[in-house]
Amino acid sequence: MSDRGEDAKLANLLARINNLTTQTGAKAAAAPSAPAPTPQTPRVAVEDLPVKAPPQPVQPPKNLQQDVPTDEFLPTAPTSISGTGFTDSEIEALVLKFLLARGSGTGRQIADQISLPFMILEDMFLALKSEQLVVYRGSAAMNDYVYQLTDLGRERAKRHQQNCTYFGACPVTLEDYCSGVKAQSLTKLHPTQEDLKYAFRDLLVNPRMFARLGPAINSGKGMFLYGYPGNGKTSIAKRVTMAFGSTVWIPRALGVDGDIIRVYDPMNHELAPLPETEGLITNNIDRRWVRIKRPTIVVGGELTMDHLEVSHNEATGICEAPLQMKSNCGTLVIDDFGRQRISTDELLNRWIVPLEERHDFLNLPSGKSIQVPFDQLIVFSTNLEPKDLVDEAFLRRIPYKIEVIDPSEPEFRKLFELMCRSLKFEYREDVITYLIEHHYKKAGRNFRACHPRDLLLQIRNHCLYSRQKLELTPQNFDFAVDNYFAVM
């Protein structure tokens, strides 16, 4: 910042102090004069621009803006090996397998790899050396050493690797995981209208449907979104989690009686690390857990029964958590429900108890059955009538059924207006009227929420190919309609 800017800032601060003391009856000293700040081109506030769309909140509501978790759950680093919930031999296996794969590594590199504090591993490193499983290859900074396996250590590491090749972050116990899910459950949060408006800020949602979505999302249980294709069911379902607007902590992996179950999935989870400014908090966090945005997992026609069970890789010995477990504390969207590779009856039989009891039973490769939380908002999105898909018993466990209806004519025009702005078209009311009169009313065609976007993209591609100006004309809409509705 320049000296002039600093002087102006100081003058402003002194003026505020002077004003405050004057209001309380105290006589304030006059602020020293300061050079006037350099004139700048005035910036036009967003509110001053002529925007026809309804004003939408740009910033999330205050309860959605917290970066540092202040709720009752915050995973803290263990202060001893026993504090991890696992034995010395189980931690030792991770260390030996890491050195077998890496060749060598410092104590701190090993600690970083298995996500445990270095100080609780120092005694283990000494024990491994005394048992002649590792040797010092050299010294490292801060009273550390470079470790390397001996022949005896290599032999033991290979035996561990035959059972399971995993040597990542030390797993978390099932008990700690269940406690974490319970503390971060969606049922503890109650989104308001402001939260929903922020979540759907880029969508035009019918007011009546918006009023019905609120209680459904607040329930944290489940809902059906049904209606004709192209009206935004999937778009709405994908944004539901944003109404809860917070992050959650999940473990990288679980350890259950020797089985390793990976929970964190980069394909379905988006990392949300703590800000660097929160140094004291970050240093005390259990690094076996990762902070992510509340998950939204979408599955469609590819869904099979295997996706709902713990999968086991025979080659590595590592298990993968099922989809419903990865979506805990978030939203699981079953898109195009009724057209999956798994039948609705199979899904009904698999989930009818979890939907009621809020917990699920999973079978592990060892034959052990474990109980895990079934704690997510499940959204079934379908083009079909729910009553034609499943029986009354299943419908009773999905308490909200919301029809996503066709947009009205004013809403349809508003969608064109919004999409024109997005795609850099000049909006022309007369041309949209031509489109509606000639290609919808005369043709007996229903409005769909996706039509404005799809038709404008047709026109845009046509104009770019023909080297024409991007504009709305009756001729361009005739061309787009002939293409788009050719077999519809």
Predicted confidence band at 222 (pLDDT cuts at 50, 70, 90)? confident
**269 & 153 share domain:** no
For 318, phi then psi, to 5°, come to -100, 140
Beta-strand pair 144-149/369-373:
unpaired
How many domains would you assign to the chain? 4
Contact criterion met (CB below 8 Å) for 150 and 133: yes
* Residues contacting 457, CB < 8 A, separation 6+: 423
Task: Confirm whether 61 is domain-assigned.
Answer: no
| pLDDT greater at residue 39 or residue 485 | 485
DSSP characters for 123-188? HHHHHHHHTTSEEEEEEETTTEEEEEE-HHHHHHHHHHHHH----SSPPEEHHHHHHHHHHT-GGG
Of 120, 145, 170, the residue that ends a domain is 170
Contact criterion met (CB below 8 Å) for 252 and 240: no
* Predicted pLDDT at 50: 37
Average confidence (pLDDT) over 452-459: 96
Q: Rg for the chain (alpha carbons), in Å?
A: 30
High-pLDDT (> 90) share of the chain, %: 63
Residue 314: exposed, middle, or buried by beta-carbon count in 10 A (0-12, 13-18, 19+)? exposed
pLDDT of residue 391 exceeding 90, the answer is no
**pLDDT-wise least confident of 119-128, 334-343, 456-465:** 334-343
High-pLDDT (> 70) share of the chain, %: 84
| Measured distance CA(190)–CA(197) in Å, rounded | 14
Q: Which of 247, 232, 179 is nearest to 379 (CA)?
A: 232
Predicted confidence band at 33 (pLDDT cuts at 50, 70, 90)? very low
Average confidence (pLDDT) over 110-117: 96
* Predicted pLDDT at 151: 96
pLDDT of residue 205 exceeding 70, the answer is yes
Helix (H) or strand (E) holding 345: helix 344-357
**pLDDT-wise least confident of 120-124, 176-180, 227-231, 240-244:** 240-244
Q: Count the neighbouring beta carbons within 10 Å of the beta carbon of residue 207.
A: 7
Of 128, 155, 170, the residue that ends a domain is 170
Average confidence (pLDDT) over 449-454: 96
HEC assignment per residue over 314-330: CCCCEEECCHHHHCCCC
Predicted confidence band at 38 (pLDDT cuts at 50, 70, 90)? very low
| pLDDT greater at residue 417 or residue 349 | 417
Predicted confidence band at 24 (pLDDT cuts at 50, 70, 90)? very low
Task: Confirm whether 306 is domain-assigned.
Answer: yes
Average confidence (pLDDT) over 214-231: 89
Helix, strand or coil, per DSSP, at residue 392: helix
* Predicted pLDDT at 339: 85
Average confidence (pLDDT) over 204-222: 89
* Predicted pLDDT at 280: 60
| Measured distance CA(232)–CA(404) in Å, rounded | 8
Task: Confirm whether 254 is domain-assigned.
Answer: yes
State the average pLDDT for the chain. 85
**97 & 234 share domain:** no
**203 & 351 share domain:** yes
Task: Confirm whether 393 is domain-assigned.
Answer: yes
Of 384, 403, 422, the residue that ends a domain is 403
| Measured distance CA(42)–CA(390) in Å, rounded | 61
Domain containing 136: what range? Answer: 82-170
